[in-house]
Copies of this chain bind each other. A is one copy, B any other.
Amino acid sequence: MNFASDNTAGVAPEIMAALSRVNEGFTLGYGNDAWTKRAEQRIAEVFNRDAAMLLVTTGTACNALAIAHFTPPWGAVLCHHDAHIMTDECGAPEFFGHGIKLVGLRGDGGKISPAILKEALEKPQWGAPHHVAPSVLSLSQATEAGTIYRPDEIRALADIAHAHNLAVHMDGARLGNALARMNAAPDEATWKAGVDVLSFGATKGGAMAAEAIVFFDRERAAGMDRRRKRGGHLLSKHRFVAAQMDAYLTDDLWLRLARHANAMADRLSDRLSSAGFAPVWPVEANEVFTLIPRSACDRLKAQGAAFYERMPDNLPKTAIVKPDSVLVRLVTSFATTAEEVDQFAALASA
B240 touches A91 (CB 8 A): no
Neighbouring B residues of A5 by C-beta, 8 Å: 29, 236
Chain B CB within 8 A of A2 CB: yes
What are 23 contact pairs spanning A and B, CB under 8 A?
A: A4-B26, A10-B22, A10-B26, A11-B240, A19-B208, A20-B20, A26-B306, A26-B335, A30-B130, A57-B57, A58-B234, A60-B229, A60-B234, A89-B229, A95-B98, A95-B231, A101-B102, A129-B225, A204-B236, A209-B235, A209-B236, A231-B232, A232-B233
Interface size class of A (residues with CB under 8 A): 35 or more
A95 touches B230 (CB 8 A): yes
Q: Cα distance A62–B54 when bound, in Å?
A: 20
Neighbouring B residues of A225 by C-beta, 8 Å: 129
CB distance from A127 to the nearest CB of B (A): 10
Interface residues of A, dominant DSSP: loop
Give chain A's interface residues, CB within 8 Å of chain B: 2, 4-5, 7-11, 16, 19-20, 22-30, 56-62, 64-65, 72-74, 87-92, 94-102, 123-125, 129-133, 203-204, 208-209, 223, 225-237, 240-241, 306, 311, 335
**From B8, B90, B227, B237, contact of A230 by CB (8 A):** B90
CB distance from A300 to the nearest CB of B (A): 15
B61 touches A232 (CB 8 A): yes
B311 touches A123 (CB 8 A): yes
